[in-house]
A and B are shown apart, each in its own frame.
Chain A
């Protein structure tokens, strides 16, 4: 289980996260929605400490971290328990698809090379890239790169995978292949926190939906609660803006 308690973060005078609480049960897929600038990315980045929260507590399984005064070891542990899939993929440019996936296993987990290779090939096959093992990132399409990014996260078998708009840098025709990979691993019971603007996907894959605005959790609930019967005016406005086809379609 993952628990965030009163996570706060300011950039200068701007309060980007105002005491955020969030709970994610094991195997649950939590989707975070919200307008641009609402703090979704910052929240995800606080969980693996790419961004240092000003205050608050993060609990992942047995690991409890007071984010104000973490030890180096705790930061390292947070990053070992989590993995992230980035909007811009961020594959290691000088490594092949296989090497990208193996890197965390051999270097961080100190796994023997042949074992790491076996696992990495399995995971790359799972995301449909068994035939691209020796390709460098530039030789792959955006969709393929992002699937390697997912494989890199998946291979580490983390407590939770954090997705930050995994498809928003992709050409529209490549979005589908990435979303279907995420759907597939969601069904396998991997705990995920996903920031996305793909509403159909969110509705479909989420167990729990969180709507953020202005650094606050405005409303949260099941997909039905948020998408069919939103309580808050701000949620309604956001949903009608982002899914016009639902309101205006013939």
Chain B
């Protein structure tokens, strides 16, 4: 049984948990960065319609979107060393943090790839035809017309992805990683004030999510500034952007 609720513990725990924020942010930052690279590579065969690779990336995406992140963590932490042992590579001494980062990177990669595909295909066909009609090459059309517009479309999706990833990192404690949630477990056990640790923890996650959300909103507004014209209000336009590809990407069913 835990002790009687005492609010002062909440304030006491916050700095203690914040001491481990850097680990949480390290996992988020590096897995998102890796995820962006993986996601781009995975998106390419589908954007360019490369026969076999297209199927491979499809399977990859379905797997990481369709299975719980917790299972993915376990599969990579326990499964990967076993598989690599068959080909005589020993990674059993690699720190658990790397496995966690890899798992979240692979998971984010699937969502990033979907985000890229959805954003690119949401660019108006007429924009591409106009670029072709003035003689732009495929590369010029992609870098000068499609990419800037797709980037603006993708920002809200990317924001969801980062915030989802932040929340998902809390599961890393199940493998014994000392990030914020892992630390809250030890604090709870030591003091028997579990509820207070969870309140402190949720406050921290909440504030970081809010900051991220505002940051992405700002970025989105910046990238859409040319849309926020005199005639139409930006809200109307944003709704128009959002109604198209987002449903394909909503991260329903994810933990967090």
Contact = CB atoms under 8 A, between A and B. Distances in A.
Interface of A: 48, 50, 76, 79-80, 82-84, 86, 88, 90-96, 103-104, 107-108, 136-139, 141, 152-153, 156
A86 B129 contact: yes
B62 interface: no
Contacts of B145: 92
B31 interface: no
Contact of B134 (A88, A93, A94, A152): A152
A80 B149 CA distance: 24
A108 B132 contact: no
Interface in B90-130: 124, 126-127, 129-130
B136 A107 contact: yes
A137 B237 CA distance: 13
Contacts, number: 77
B231 interface: yes
Nearest to B232: A138
Interface stretch (B20-28, B72-80, B157-165, B222-230): B222-230
Residue of A82, A91, A93, A108 most packed against chain B (CB within 10 A): A93
Given A76-B137, A79-B134, 18 more contacts: A50-B132, A79-B132, A79-B135, A82-B133, A83-B134, A84-B130, A84-B133, A93-B127, A93-B149, A96-B226, A107-B136, A107-B144, A138-B226, A138-B228, A138-B231, A141-B231, A153-B134, A156-B134
B181 to A, nearest CB: 41
A103 B134 contact: yes
Interface in B183-203: none
- By Cβ-Cβ distance, the 8 closest A-B pairs, closest first, are A138-B229, A104-B134, A90-B130, A90-B126, A139-B229, A136-B226, A84-B133, A79-B135
A50 B129 contact: yes
Contacts of B134: 79, 83, 103-104, 108, 152-153, 156
A75 to B, nearest CB: 9
Contacts of B231: 138-139, 141
A149 B126 CA distance: 12
A88 B127 CA distance: 10
B135 A76 contact: yes
Contacts of A137: 226
Given A86-B126, A138-B227, A50 B133 contact: yes
Contacts of A88: 126
B133 A83 contact: yes
B133 A79 contact: yes
Contacts of A104: 134-136
